[in-house]
Amino acid sequence: MNANILVFIIQAFVLCIFAHQSANDIVVEQSEFAGDENPTSFLKKEYSLSKPFQGHWDFGGSTVIASDFIRLTPDSQSHRGAVWCKIPVRMRHWEVQMHFRVHGSTGNLFGDGMAFWYIDPAVSKFSGPVFGMQDKFRGLGVLLDTYSNHNGPHSHDHPYISAMVNNGSLAYDHDRDGTHSQLDGCTARFRNRDHDTLLSIRYVNNALLVATDIENKQTWQPCFRVPNVKLPTHFVFGVSAMTGDLSDNHDLLSVKVYEIEPKEPLEDNMGVDYRTIEPSADSAEPPRPHVDSQADSGWSFLRIFLLVLFCAIGLVTLLVLGLVYHTSQQRKKKRFY
Ligand SMILES: [Ca+2]
C-alpha cells in the first residue's frame, strides 16, 4: 500500500465524520416578498408607540419604561412583560414596524424571546407561557424565538421568526419551537447586534408579509410571505417577552403603525362584517397532539450510537492499515541492509 492510498482513506474518514454535521446544516428558503411593493401608507399615531411612551397603551408584568426604550424583561430569570394598544384596530390593511433590541450577557445560554400580537382583546393578555402571552389566543402571533428547544424534527437555526394564526383552539408547543402550528418562518440573527433591529409585519389583501432589517442596511429583508390569512378587524396590537431559566433583555424602542391602501385591493364583500371573521390561514398545518419526545430521543441515541460505532470501526481500520503500512516500510528498509 502506498502513501497516497493511506491519505485517501484518511480524507474519506474525515468526510464521513463531517457528513453527519452537514446533514443538519440550515437551509431556509425565504418566500418571495412580492406584490404591492409600494402601496400608499399613512402613519396612524393612535395605534403607534414611541417615546416618551405616553398614549393609548397599557403596560404589564415586568415591563419598565425608560427614557429611550421600554424594557419588557430584564436579563434575569422568570420574567414576563407586555405592552398593549387599548384601541381596537379598524383598518383592513396595515403594517406594523417594530423597533426592538434583544441583548444579554449570558454567552450561549439565553432566552426565551419576544412576540408581536394582533389578537382578540377579550382574552387576558398580561401574563402567559407563550413569550409572555396567554396560550390559545385568538388572532396572529409573530414569534421571535431566541432559544432552540429543538425537541423535535425541525432543522432551523435560532433566533427564529415564525407566524402563528390561532382561532383559540391551538396550543403553542415550546418543546417543538412552535413548528406544529407555524405558518412559515425564517432564521434571523437579531440578538446582541451593535445596532438597533427592526421587524415589519404587513397584512394586506389577506397576505401576511414579514421582513426584517437586522443588518443596519435601512432596507427590508424578506422573511416570509403567507397568502390567504384571514384576520378580523377590531383586534388589538401588542408586544410581549419572556425569560425562563435563561434570560435576555427584551427592549422595545418603538411601534409604528401604518394604514395601507393597496393599489389593487381585493373586492370587498358587501355586507360582510369584518369583525366577525374567524382567524384562519390556508397554510396552517392541522393541529397535531404533542408527542412525547421519547421517540426522538431514541432515534437520536441510535443515531449517535451508530455514528460512534462507525467512527470507532474507521479508527481501528486506520490503525490496522497504518500498522501494515509501517511494517511493510520496515521490511523494505531491512532489504537494503
Ligand atoms: Ca424556543
CATH of residue 162's domain is: 2.60.120.200
Locate the DSSP E strands across 151-269.
Answer: 160-167, 184-187, 197-204, 207-213, 221-226, 229-230, 236-242, 249-261
| Structural domain containing residue 311 | 296-337
Interval between CA 310 and ligand 1 midpoint (Å): 32
Q: How far does residue 314's CA lie from ligand 1's centre (Å)?
A: 37
Q: Sort strands 70-73 and 249-261 into parallel, antiparallel or unpaired.
A: antiparallel
State the distance from the centre of ligand 1 to the C-alpha of 86, rounded, in angstroms: 28
Count of residues in the chain:
337
Is there a single domain that holds both residue 120 and residue 213? yes
Joined grid coordinates for residue 178: 412552535
Distance (Å) from CA 104 to ligand 1 centroid: 16
312 alpha carbon to ligand 1 midpoint, in Å?
A: 34
Examine the domain organization and report whether 37 and 134 are in the same domain.
Answer: yes
Same domain, 237 and 300: no
Same domain, 263 and 306: no
Measured CA to CA, the distance from residue 268 to residue 276 in angstroms comes to 15
| pLDDT tens by residue, the chain, 337 residues | 455 555 544 544 443 343 333 332 222 233 333 344 556 889 999 999 999 998 899 999 999 999 999 999 999 999 999 999 999 999 999 999 999 999 998 777 898 999 999 999 987 666 789 999 999 999 999 999 998 887 566 677 889 999 999 999 988 887 777 877 889 999 999 999 999 899 999 999 999 999 999 999 999 999 999 999 999 999 999 999 999 999 999 999 999 999 998 887 776 666 788 999 999 998 765 555 555 443 333 344 446 667 778 878 888 888 888 888 888 887 776 655 5
Q: How far is the CA of 145 from the centre of ligand 1 (A)?
A: 5
Q: Is residue 8 part of a domain?
A: no
Taking the centre of ligand 1 as the mean of its atom positions, its distance from the CA of residue 110, in whole angstroms, is 10
C-alpha 160 – ligand 1 centre gap (Å) = 8
Do 318 and 271 belong to one domain?
A: no
Residues 230 and 180 placed together within one structural domain of the fold: yes
- Does residue 44 form part of some domain? yes
CA of 320 to the centre of ligand 1 (A): 46
Same domain, 159 and 303: no
Same-domain status, 321 and 234: no
What is the model's pTM?
0.73
* Domain total of the chain: 2
- The answer to whether residues 121 and 255 belong to one domain is yes
The answer to whether position 11 is within a domain reads no
Find the 190 Cα to ligand 1 centroid distance in Å.
15
Domain contains 139: yes
Both 257 and 120 in one domain: the answer is: yes
